[in-house]
Structure 1
């Protein structure tokens, strides 16, 4: 199946689509479109693997769905609501986003400085209000977080565990994950995936998970969205994609797709060099804008 991922569960609660993206085209100023006619529909309780080469548009798609970037209200809907314009989605915790970076800008040191300081993990985690103590205790144990850790003395993997714990403290309805397990060890990653699976099956949460690590993903995912050159090339419920039926090694299939994607990209780049006067897309109307919650 190619194109739109459109699956509706029988007797599904309203709205029938937890995530609905309809013909999204998005470009940064002065650049060609990063996403073109990109459409995705996911029912409640689904676990979608978002895959594709670097630069294929995965992170941009997640940012748009997360409401971090403004698009027309009718293009993206999460739980039936526009995520950029309806700030209650993110402020209330129904829509949660966990990105690959946990950084801050410091004027004297430049950008992309790891978030750290002489503060304990306990103070950060227990400082989040209105959290179920049992859920917090479970996550601390699951992620093997030592509450007495000092944030200024942690490895990348330990700091990542604290970040994930903070992001999952409040129950979400839709969770977007962008390469969040890259710093975790094998056990930490597998335990987290099992927790995500339970969240979807028991609470009906929906998860879109972007990663380049495919161990265990064939059994974990219910849906797949493979993005190539800004378009959804392979997408749908896992059972409806012939290319991955019966495979226990998802990597082998996605490797083939990635090699095709790379060859097509190289061919496009060669064609662009041969035609240097090609006109770029006017992207002024797609300028990236702060989330509405910033102005609250």
Structure 2
């Protein structure tokens, strides 16, 4: 790739993953030579079965896990892990499943204490008041809510509001709309769409709820056991051109994946349990079944 192509590549991709390897301690590799590119301004759905690696991938992109090599993970052409200014500036935002907000360089703030929603939201300094007011109205937040008394859905609205106070360039969402009612969820998706279309921001959204996403998303990435199986524009997804819903398409993929996984399971034979130990007949001998229950 020559210099001009490299510059074009840096400008056209908000996220670039090249040859990533990752494993949790004492666990087999979750990602091996993993590659992914996400275009600037896109709204990409990240889909896959439970345990496929979606949450881990989002946390890696958010700089919460270290991956060897500064050029392996590039977000906004910077190292997601090493360049802390990405998070401190708000250019890179991550909203996951926990009741906490990563407030720049200050670390994570719990959202369940005995304090008001106003205390949480207005306590963030250096933000645009107009944007703050718009988010409070959009998410229908009562500033007098006490965070230890509200419902999960109401607490989630405050979490989302705080995560969006600063204009992001890349937003990573991990099932963050799961507690919202349908009106709040659709209004929030419209807000994300507006951010992408008007400011060129990029959203990566991992979810198992597909209602209304056929016309919202621009791209879809499908992951199986840490491997990218599909990455394409939704407008070019052949299955959707036949009038099938996105939910039905993803369901068929996951069912096919489940069948393939079952075929790979090797059933144990009686020989695997045989032993020539002289203690086989002893009542004190540990068996596989006893070890399982222990």
**Normalised-by-shorter TM-score class:** 0.7 to 0.9
CA contact (8 A) 2:100 2:159 kept: no
Alignment of 1:242-257 (within 5 A): 242-247=238-243, 249-257=245-253
Q: 1:186 aligns with which of 153, 161, 182?
A: 182
TM-score by length of 2: 0.82
Tell me the SS of whatever aligns to 1:245: helix
Alpha carbons of structure 1 residues 187 and 73: separation in structure 2 relative to 1, 3 Å: same
Please name the residue that 2:266 is paired with.
Answer: 271
CA contact (8 A) 2:45 2:219 kept: yes
If asked which structure has higher relative contact order (CA below 8 Å, sep 6+), I would say 1
Tell me the SS of whatever aligns to 2:30: strand
Residue 32 of structure 1, CA deviation: 1.7
Residue 272 of structure 1, CA deviation: 8.2
Residues in 1 aligned to 2:162 and 2:190: alpha-carbon distance in whole angstroms: 18
Please name the residue that 2:76 is paired with.
Answer: 79
Please name the residue that 1:285 is paired with.
Answer: none
Q: Does 1:97 align with 2:94?
A: yes
Tell me the SS of whatever aligns to 1:90: helix
Tell me the SS of whatever aligns to 1:119: coil
Q: Please tell me the root mean square deviation across aligned C-alpha atoms, in Å.
A: 2.2
Residue 219 of structure 1, CA deviation: 0.8
TM-score by length of 1: 0.81
Q: 1:66 aligns with which of 51, 57, 62?
A: 62
Q: Which runs of 5+ in 1 are unaligned?
A: 1-10, 105-113, 277-296
Larger mean Cα displacement after TM superposition, 63-72 or 178-187: 63-72
Residues in 2 aligned to 1:212 and 1:103: alpha-carbon distance in whole angstroms: 21
Residue 245 of structure 1, CA deviation: 3.1
Alpha carbons of structure 1 residues 144 and 28: separation in structure 2 relative to 1, 3 Å: same
Give the number of aligned pairs.
Answer: 256
Tell me the SS of whatever aligns to 1:183: coil
Alignment of 1:210-249 (within 5 A): 210-247=206-243, 249=245
Residues in 1 aligned to 2:125 and 2:100: alpha-carbon distance in whole angstroms: 23
Q: Does 1:197 align with 2:193?
A: yes
Residue 164 of structure 1, CA deviation: 0.2
Q: Which runs of 5+ in 2 are unaligned?
A: 1-6, 102-109, 273-294
CA contact (8 A) 2:111 2:159 kept: no
Task: Kindly provide the CA deviation profile for residues 31-89 of structure 1, in whole angstroms up to 9, marking residues without a partner as x.
Answer: 12222332211121100000010000000110111111111212110011110011111
